[in-house]
Amino acid sequence: MLTAISHSRESPLDKASDPQPVQRIELHPRTLLAIVVTLAVCWLLIRLLPVLLIVVVALFVVGTLNPAVEWLERHRLSRIWAVVVVFAGSFLVVALLAALTLPSLFEQARDVIEHEAEIRERVAELLDKSRVTAKLSQPLRQLHYDELIKASAGPALIASTRVVEFVAYLASTIFVALYTMIDRDRLRGGLFAVVPRRHHVRLSRVLIQLETIVGGYIRGQALTSLLITIFALAMFTACQVPNALALAVFAGVVDVLPYVGGVLTIVPAAAAAAGQGVVTVLVIVISMLAYQEFESRFVVPRVYGRILRLPSSVVLVSLLTGGILMGILGALLVLPIAAAIRMLIEELRLELPGERADDAGLRKRDRAAEREYAARSKGMPAEQSAAIAVEISEERYRDDKNAV
């Protein structure tokens, strides 16, 4: 008995020698299919990123110009002619700005090339006055442009290729926006045709809100451009810089580029002020850099935060994030995207962690609007149903706006 018991016991060495149980992870075929589809969609989006950007920017153009088109429609002008008038007016404005700024900029560039030796000597003399920068004056005087031209041949070729691509993308964006505005009803009807009818009213509200966000973003950009134009005009006039108005308008135009807009103004402004002396050039450079810092840290967060209903901290962090991830284009698009995300959270009645939304009244109004839409659009095609959904959402939007 004892022997049997002793044989039935396992020593610690025997337990250690036993193989450990193997844990197997098995994925359901649906899970594998979802992973494969997700990876394929991500790959496709990356490959089609330029096309997506063209569509997004075209929608921004549509959202910017559509209020003017609708205003002309309300004054008994057909949509096609309204679109033609608005696009023609926009091109005239762009051409006027170009005619006002580009000739003076080219003239400044020509003057800099003609007086380059004198400007370089002035800068070298200024460097000689300090022990810290004295060593830089001699290499500046001995600068050979032939070597610089040879060294910059490759980057210049790449830059010219990028310019051609940018022009092609810009032309594609304009035509996509033009055709989208002309075929608005059919495109909207096609979108509503693939969305379940119970979501049509909510979809129309989202579209209206997106147009409002784009309009608010454009108004914010117009305000910041106007502010820097006024500041630059006052400073250039006080410093007696030639072509002060043209340079100030150029500053307002390039201000649409986050972070670099004010910096781009420094080069032509400093070149124009070169004849006024080194002190004037330094005043302009320091003033423009200071205003750029003031605008990015104070003006932009408050202006866009008020218009897009975003906290100033969110505006600043969004600009930094967009600039790091996608450069200038990311910084241009990130604010309306952030505002659109906030709007979608509100429209879809989503509850964020730590929040408890009391939206019983909103949900009741949503159901009432859906019942009205179902009654009015019964038996109608998608294009006419979309128009009714937009009409109901616009009435509700006006009521909410008047209530506030």
Q: Which DSSP letter does residue 299 get?
A: I
Q: What is the mean pLDDT of residues 38-56?
A: 85
d(CA 163, CA 149): 19
pLDDT, tens digit (0-9, with 9 covering 90-100), for 253-307: 888 877 677 778 888 888 778 777 778 888 888 998 888 888 888 888 888 888 7
pLDDT at 50: 82
d(CA 141, CA 144): 9
pLDDT interval class at 1 (50, 70, 90): very low
pLDDT, tens digit (0-9, with 9 covering 90-100), for 188-239: 888 888 888 888 888 888 888 888 888 888 888 888 889 999 999 999 899 8
The position carrying tokens 């962090």 is: 317
Domain boundaries, the chain: 196-351+362-404
Nearest alpha-carbon partner for 322 in 217, 250, 400, 226: 217
In contact, 327 and 337? CB cutoff 8 Å: no
Q: What is the mean pLDDT of residues 308-337?
A: 79
pLDDT at 12: 52
| pLDDT greater than 60 at residue 246 | yes
| pLDDT greater than 80 at residue 391 | yes
pLDDT interval class at 351 (50, 70, 90): low
Helices (H), 129-199: 134-141, 145-151, 153-182, 184-193
pLDDT at 359: 64
Q: Nearest 5°: CA angle at 335, between 330 and 337?
A: 80
Residue of 78 and 138 predicted with greater confidence = 78
The position carrying tokens 């019964």 is: 378
pTM: 0.71
| pLDDT greater than 80 at residue 398 | no
Burial class (CB in 10 A: 0-12, 13-18, 19+), 174: middle
Nearest alpha-carbon partner for 258 in 285, 231, 302, 293: 293
| pLDDT greater than 50 at residue 358 | yes
Q: Which of 39-48, 81-90, 113-122, 388-397 has the lowest mean pLDDT?
A: 113-122
Q: What percent of the chain has pLDDT over 70?
A: 81
E strand or H helix at 208: helix 200-238
pLDDT, tens digit (0-9, with 9 covering 90-100), for 360-380: 677 778 788 888 888 888 888
